Amino acid sequence: MNWNTFFRKNLEPILAYQPGLREEQIRRIAEVDTIHKLSSNESPLPPFSSALAAMQDKLVGLNEYPDGSSHELTQLLARHFDVPGEQIVLGNGSNELIDLIAETCLMPGDNVVYGWPSFIVYRSAAQIAGAEYREVPLGNDGAFDLEALLAQVDEHTKIVFVCTPNNPTGGVVTHEAFKQFIDALPGSVLVVLDAAYEEFIDDEQALVSTTFFDGKRPLVVLKTFSKMYALAGIRCGYGLAPVPVVEMINKVREPFNINTVAQAGAQASLEDDAEVAQRRRLNASGKARLSLCFEALGLEQYRSQANFIWVTVPDPAATFDALLKMGIIVRPFPGAHGLRVGVGDEAAVSATIAAFEQLFGGV
């Protein structure tokens, strides 16, 4: 049986998404009892207490389908961002929205442009649609080089992805750089601004993702409840988009893509500003400790505005394996000369520092 006869040929080069290693996978490798999973940019803290209560209340009603329009959550987001509800679109994580935007916009012959290394789904979304993808090296600060992106745009460019803070480096695009960039782009190009880690930013020069959103220009802003709000397990992301984009996405998205529990947890989390501020402080503290460690060890790093740090090491594969034995799971990127190290809780940060000092303290 030649199974390839059943499948689209443009799918052959696509690599399936590889999630971070699970804790139970490391048990047989690690030489310690305590495992710290820092590979998936997850919050080290549980969901907000208000979200846990709201989700618990919904469990008895799971015999019924979710609200297919996510009406209450949509209206809450609309009020939160002061936009019409018609300009809000919900996804099973912002990841799904990236795929849906590509599905609705891209055709063979189109191209997409984005910085690299960055989120692998920009590439796979283009590949699945049969479009060309153009990967542009990051700037020296680990942020998207918008001038270099602009230079790759041509008459066949349909989408430009901009990730800020960028995953995996944590670099951010500034307000002024983005203004010049979006003003210079032709109106035929849709800008998809991926701001999944925006809540962690403390740089006053950084772009605020919604600043340039007016519902008229071809700009989509994507955000998520997975990171700061510690709801990665419920898969709930959202976008601010012009009405025609929202209407087209709604034609192709799954009818009940946001489940009942997810809607409740997201609603309860959104406006808890005090908890967000506290978690931002905890992340900044842990990140500062890691950064000082890497600096003392002479390891190059980007200044990160997210909940992880990209650190350059002499042999990423060997370092990754050595850290696994110490119970520290980080994220390697094939072809890149570093590791993405998530900011865990205090115990995880201390364990990570101890592991790096053991590996590089004598260098």
What are the DSSP calls for 44-110, one per residue? SSPPPHHHHHHHHHHGGGTTSPP-TT-HHHHHHHHHHHTS-GGGEEEESSHHHHHHHHHHHH--BTB
**Tokens linked to 277:** 């501020």
- pLDDT at 13 > cutoff 90: no
CA pair distance 344, 290, nearest whole angstrom: 10
By CB atoms closer than 10 A (0-12, 13-18, 19+), residue 94 is buried
Contact by Cβ (8 Å): 200, 228: yes
Domains and CATH numbers, the chain: 20-46+274-360 (3.90.1150.10), 49-270 (3.40.640.10)
pLDDT per residue as tens digits for the range 281-335: 999 999 999 999 999 999 999 999 999 999 999 999 999 999 999 999 999 987 7
Q: What is the pLDDT of residue 9?
A: 85
pLDDT per residue as tens digits for the range 103-146: 999 999 999 999 999 999 999 999 999 999 999 999 999 999 99
pLDDT per residue as tens digits for the range 217-257: 999 999 999 999 999 999 999 999 999 999 999 999 999 99
- The whole-model pTM stands at 0.94
